[in-house]
């Protein structure tokens, strides 16, 4: 099996599963319980928090544990919007965000907020200048994805953060789900107030995530309840999941040091090989792109057909983002970049992780070439 | 790699006369420990300054470690070059190109301790400024508030070029000036008091009063966690856990309720003083702040302080609560301190403690019972543990979980 859909989800590391199992079995206490068993669970949760904070270079008190990327994104944008609605009701985001941002924005619009969607240029980049042009006195929140999940473009977060320094009313949220462990980001230097990560995108477990909330930033909670996580996120803490996530993050960052070159080489090989095929157009630009995502279209073929064709050869890739692929919708990032609809409907995403190799890249190129040839013949007939 | 070294400027060490070498040596050890994650970096300490030779390590990452070390006034990532004018100019330009972004202004700051160098400071300013202006389009000089201040320093052995000066933590090198015992309750104030005392070069050991089952293991764990934070300064922090239950029970039998707080504090101070003597310390440190609670009025302090003539250092005495909390946030102890577990001071607090206790009265109440024996017993039963910083903890049995 060659698994090349790591932006949809990753396989949990064996060591991560071991931790999850051990904590679930031996330290099952509720961290809020006063007795020793509760105390142990609380200590583990604190240790997990400190470790995540240290790996992200922020303070432990700035890490809030959640159930994943969707919750973190929702908590960030709705929480910041609701907590600051007296200061203004204008929000800026891009038109190439993940569905959990996009649909949260739609909901905020129905609650009376005004949302401006900034389009990327033809290469898929949202410029700091474009954001700056939309900023107003009543702008309270700007939310931009770091690494786009569909084409892998790296947005100029640092530059946008620099622009926002002159707008003290506007908070800055960054969706870092695809970037974490792959494309480093200095939260403090970039002037970020809120930042989302998700455990299962870096070999942790589904149902685990975190939101960085910079010291001093107040959110209106989504959940009411027992006031866990500094009253920002009620619900009994997923201690085993968070311990597992902190381990997954450590291992992924270590993997990056060891194997970034290997993964980059595999990606270069893939890009070179696939771009030779004349029916294929590559959408991921060659600069300012994440090292693990490649998006391309196969002319005249439906993306889903192509996914199944590769599946027959035991190679797993994706249409657009996993969250929207079931709806058979064209990639909205590509549409926003100005790619024609039929091309956007035939878009394929390959996403790597550190264990992928050059050999796998070679096999994939061969399989893609064969599938294109075979399917084109069928379609022509 | 932009820089090959970091230049470290000492704080008040330079005024310490004959003890200077001792201070510098202490600082060198503290820096070495802080940089243990960077095996290639090496340290050269001389009388006026210290150089950290990066040997390939990242200057930003190394710099971040320096920021919390007491005794460092400031530091600058720098590049060493031969005192050949053309070579220096090229190096300055190359460095400038890497850090300058379009639209930013600059100036040159020259320093020349080697008076034999061919140019004086004005000459260096115009020569280097001119060279950079000629090579970068649209660049402007701003001598008042430049975005980039390029420092060029000519010394006897070589020239150093750097572009920023980052403020250090100040103070005196940790553990360079004797030992004191910190009364560590678990609240917000005492860790801050300990930290500020360490800033002035004292080695600090903690004393915590533990009253099971009135206070829980988690209250004790909280103090251990705070100790881990304080251990970051020195690499370790000694913590004394005093068994206090029996004494508290005796106090409640012997002393009228509104005076129990005063007596409790007096006995805590006596025990701390006895531990101090055993450990060879010369001071006691507390987190007291005037008027904050009943035990911290001037009258209370007068009645409590009477039990010892050992110097009591109270770094927070004139600070407001908010100021103290701000420091607690920066040293990362605040969130541990606010964990809601009872400590021995909160469990036994009387409904209305005397805010103006009389010394004669408390002496009288205490005279009917011999506390000395219980004090000796508590001191003997005290557990001493050495806490390592969380960042260095390695042998924890649950570590393989992470």
pLDDT 10s digits, B148-185: 999 999 998 899 999 888 999 999 988 888 899 999 99
Confidence band (pLDDT; 50, 70, 90) for A171?
very high
Equal fold, B83-157 vs B179-401 = no
If you classify domain B83-157 with CATH, what class do you get? alpha beta
The answer on pLDDT for A154 being more than 80 is yes
Q: What does the pLDDT average to over A359-379?
A: 91
Specify burial of residue A90 (Cβ count, 10 A radius: 0-12, 13-18, 19+): buried
What's the rounded Cα separation, in Å, for the pair A373 and A360?
Answer: 20
The answer on pLDDT for A322 being more than 60 is no
Can you spell out the DSSP letters for B342-375? --HHHHT--SS--SS--HHHHHHHHTTS-HHHHH
Instruction: Starting at the earlier edge strand, list the strands of the sheet with B283-285.
Output: B312-313, B283-285, B179-183, B203-210, B237-243, B383-387
pLDDT at B51: 94
Peptide bond into B213 cis (omega under 30): yes
Q: Which of A50, A55, A247 to mutate to test the interface with B (most CBs of B within 10 A)?
A: A50
In this structure, are strands A347-351 and A293-298 parallel, antiparallel, or unpaired?
antiparallel
CA distance B127 to chain A (A): 33
Catalytic residue numbers of A, as ranges: 323
What's the rounded Cα separation, in Å, for the pair A145 and A94?
Answer: 8
pLDDT at B227: 96
Q: Which of B394, B400, B402 to mutate to test the interface with A (most CBs of A within 10 A)?
A: B402
A contacts of B216 (beta carbons < 8 Å): 34, 39
Tell whether A158 is within 8 A of chain B (Cβ).
no
Instruction: Specify the pTM.
Output: 0.73
The answer on pLDDT for B337 being more than 70 is yes
First-to-last C-alpha distance (Å) of chain B: 32
Nearest to A22 among B216, B217, B401 (CB): B401
Tell whether A155 is within 8 A of chain B (Cβ).
no
Can you tell me the ipTM of this complex? 0.73
CATH number for the region A14-250 comes to 3.40.640.10
Q: What does the pLDDT average to over A361-378?
A: 91
The answer on pLDDT for B398 being more than 80 is no
CATH number for the region B179-401 comes to 3.40.50.620
Tell whether A243 is within 8 A of chain B (Cβ).
yes
Confidence band (pLDDT; 50, 70, 90) for A326?
low
Mean of all residue pLDDT scores within chain A: 94
pLDDT at B15: 63
Judge: A43–B329 Cβ closer than 8 Å, yes or no.
Answer: no
What's the rounded Cα separation, in Å, for the pair A117 and A344?
Answer: 20
HEC readout, A75-129: HHHHHHHHHCCCCCCEEEEECCCCHHHHHHHHHHHHCCCEEEEECCCCCCCCCHH
pLDDT at B48: 83
CATH architecture designation of domain B1-82: 2-Layer Sandwich (3.30)
The answer on pLDDT for A209 being more than 60 is yes
CA distance A71 to chain B (A): 24
Judge: A43–B221 Cβ closer than 8 Å, yes or no.
Answer: yes
Q: Give the largest Cα separation in chain B, rounded.
A: 88
pLDDT at A323: 54
Of B77, B38, B82, B78, give the one whose Cα is nearest residue B57.
Answer: B38
Tell whether A60 is within 8 A of chain B (Cβ).
yes
Of B255, B310, B302, give the one whose Cα is nearest residue B285.
Answer: B310
pLDDT at A60: 92
Nearest to B401 among A19, A46, A50 (CB): A19
Judge: B402–A42 Cβ closer than 8 Å, yes or no.
Answer: no
Q: Looking at residue B87, what DSSP letter applies? A: H
The answer on pLDDT for A220 being more than 70 is yes
Q: What percent of chain B stands above pLDDT 70?
A: 96
Torsion of CA B342, B345, B348, B354, to 10 degrees: -140
Confidence band (pLDDT; 50, 70, 90) for B11?
confident
Pair of tokens at residue A39: 């105390």
pLDDT at A327: 56
What's the rounded Cα separation, in Å, for the pair B127 and B121?
Answer: 10
Q: What does the pLDDT average to over B55-74?
A: 91
Judge: A44–B391 Cβ closer than 8 Å, yes or no.
Answer: no
Pair of tokens at residue B400: 């393989």
Of B273, B276, B275, give the one whose Cα is nearest residue B304.
Answer: B273
pLDDT tens column, A4-56: 999 999 999 999 999 999 999 999 999 999 888 998 999 999 999 999 999 99
pLDDT at A254: 95
Mean of all residue pLDDT scores within chain B: 90
Pair of tokens at residue B200: 């002035």
Boundaries of every domain in chain B: 1-82, 83-157, 179-401
Phi, psi (degrees; rounded to nearest 5) at B172? -115, 155
pLDDT tens column, A6-16: 999 999 999 99
Distances (CA, A) of B277 to B1, B181, B191, B195: 52, 10, 22, 21
Boundaries of every domain in chain A: 2-7+259-380, 14-250
B contacts of A43 (beta carbons < 8 Å): 221
pLDDT at B345: 60
pLDDT tens column, B372-381: 999 999 999 9
Q: What does the pLDDT average to over A360-370?
A: 96
pLDDT at B233: 86
Residues of B with CB under 8 A from a CB of A: 216-218, 221, 225, 329, 332, 334-335, 390-391, 398, 400-402
The answer on pLDDT for B225 being more than 90 is yes
Confidence band (pLDDT; 50, 70, 90) for B103?
confident
What sections of A233-321 are H helices per DSSP?
239-275, 303-312
pLDDT tens column, A88-100: 999 999 999 999 9
Tell whether A257 is within 8 A of chain B (Cβ).
no
3 state SS of B90: helix
Pair of tokens at residue A335: 């549409």
Looking at the domain A2-7+259-380, which fold is it? 3.90.1150
């Amino acid at each position: 099996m060659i698994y090349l859909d790591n932006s949809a989800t990753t396989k949990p590391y064996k060591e991560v599963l071991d931790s999850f199992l051990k904590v679930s079995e031996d330290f099952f206490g509720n961290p809020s319980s006063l007795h020793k068993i509760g105390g142990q669970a609380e200590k583990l949760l604190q240790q997990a928090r400190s470790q995540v904070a240290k790996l992200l270079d922020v303070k432990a008190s700035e890490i809030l544990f959640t159930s994943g990327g969707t919750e973190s994104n929702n908590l960030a944008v709705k929480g910041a919007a609701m907590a600051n609605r007296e200061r203004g009701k204008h929000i800026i985001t891009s038109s190439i965000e993940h569905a959990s941002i996009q649909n949260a924005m739609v909901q905020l619009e129905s609650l009376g907020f005004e949302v401006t969607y900034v389009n990327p240029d033809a290469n898929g980049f949202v410029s700091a200048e474009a954001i700056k042009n939309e900023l107003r006195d009543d702008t309270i929140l700007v939310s931009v994805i770091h690494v786009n999940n569909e084409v892998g473009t790296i947005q100029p977060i640092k530059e946008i953060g620099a622009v926002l320094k002159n707008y003290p009313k506007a908070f800055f949220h960054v969706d870092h789900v695809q970037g974490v462990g792959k494309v480093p980001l200095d939260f403090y230097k970039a002037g970020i107030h809120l930042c989302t990560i998700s455990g299962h995108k870096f070999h942790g477990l589904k149902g685990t995530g975190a939101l960085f909330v910079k010291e001093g930033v107040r959110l209106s909670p989504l959940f009411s309840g027992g006031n866990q996580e500094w009253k920002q996120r009620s619900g009994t803490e997923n201690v085993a999941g968070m311990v597992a996530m902190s381990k997954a993050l450590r291992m992924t960052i270590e993997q990056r040091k060891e194997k970034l070159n290997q993964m980059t080489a595999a990606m270069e090989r893939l890009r070179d090989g696939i771009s030779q095929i004349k029916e294929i157009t590559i959408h991921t630009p060659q600069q300012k792109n994440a090292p693990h995502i490649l998006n391309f279209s196969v002319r005249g073929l439906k993306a889903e057909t192509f996914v199944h064709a590769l599946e027959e050869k035991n190679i797993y890739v994706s249409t657009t983002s996993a969250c929207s692929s079931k709806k058979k919708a064209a990639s909205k990032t590509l549409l926003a970049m100005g790619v024609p609809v039929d091309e956007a409907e035939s878009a394929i995403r390959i996403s790597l992780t550190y264990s992928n190799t050059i050999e796998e890249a070679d096999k994939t190129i061969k399989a893609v070439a064969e599938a294109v040839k075979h399917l084109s013949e069928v379609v022509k007939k | 790699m932009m820089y090959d070294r970091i230049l470290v400027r000492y704080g008040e060490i330079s005024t310490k006369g004959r003890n200077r070498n001792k201070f510098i040596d202490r600082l060198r050890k503290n820096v070495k420990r802080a940089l243990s994650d960077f095996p290639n970096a090496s340290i050269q300490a001389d009388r006026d300054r210290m150089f950290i030779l990066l040997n390939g390590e990242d200057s930003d990452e190394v710099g971040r470690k320096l920021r919390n070390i007491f005794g460092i006034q400031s530091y600058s990532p720098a590049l060493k070059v031969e005192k050949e004018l053309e070579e220096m100019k090229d190096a300055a330009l190359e460095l400038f190109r890497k850090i300058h972004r379009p639209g930013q202004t600059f100036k040159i700051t020259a320093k020349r301790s080697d008076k034999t160098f061919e140019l004086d400071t004005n000459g260096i300013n115009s020569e280097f400024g001119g060279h950079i202006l000629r090579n970068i389009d649209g660049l402007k000089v701003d001598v008042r508030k430049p975005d980039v201040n390029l420092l060029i320093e000519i010394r006897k052995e070589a020239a150093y070029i750097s572009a920023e000066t980052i403020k250090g933590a100040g103070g005196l090198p940790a553990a360079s000036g004797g030992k004191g015992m910190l009364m560590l309750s678990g609240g917000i104030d005492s860790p801050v008091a300990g930290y500020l005392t360490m800033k002035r070069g004292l080695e600090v050991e903690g004393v915590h009063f533990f009253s099971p089952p009135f206070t829980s293991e988690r209250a004790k764990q909280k103090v251990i966690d705070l100790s881990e934070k304080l251990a970051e300064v020195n690499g370790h922090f000694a913590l004394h856990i005093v068994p206090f239950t029996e004494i508290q029970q005796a106090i409640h039998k012997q002393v009228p309720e509104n005076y129990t707080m005063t007596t409790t504090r007096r006995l805590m101070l006596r025990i701390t003083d006895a531990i101090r003597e055993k450990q060879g310390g010369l001071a006691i440190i507390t987190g007291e702040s005037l008027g904050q609670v009943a035990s911290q009025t001037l009258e209370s302090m007068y009645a409590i302080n009477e039990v010892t003539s050992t110097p009591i250092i109270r770094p927070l005495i004139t600070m407001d609560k908010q100021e103290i909390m701000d420091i607690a946030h920066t040293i990362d102890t605040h969130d541990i301190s606010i964990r809601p577990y009872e400590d021995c001071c909160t469990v036994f607090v009387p409904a209305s403690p005397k805010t103006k206790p009389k010394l004669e009265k408390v002496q009288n109440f205490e005279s009917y019972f011999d506390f000395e024996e219980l004090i000796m017993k508590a001191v003997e039963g005290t557990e001493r543990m050495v806490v390592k910083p969380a960042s260095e903890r390695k042998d924890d049995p649950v570590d393989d979980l992470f």
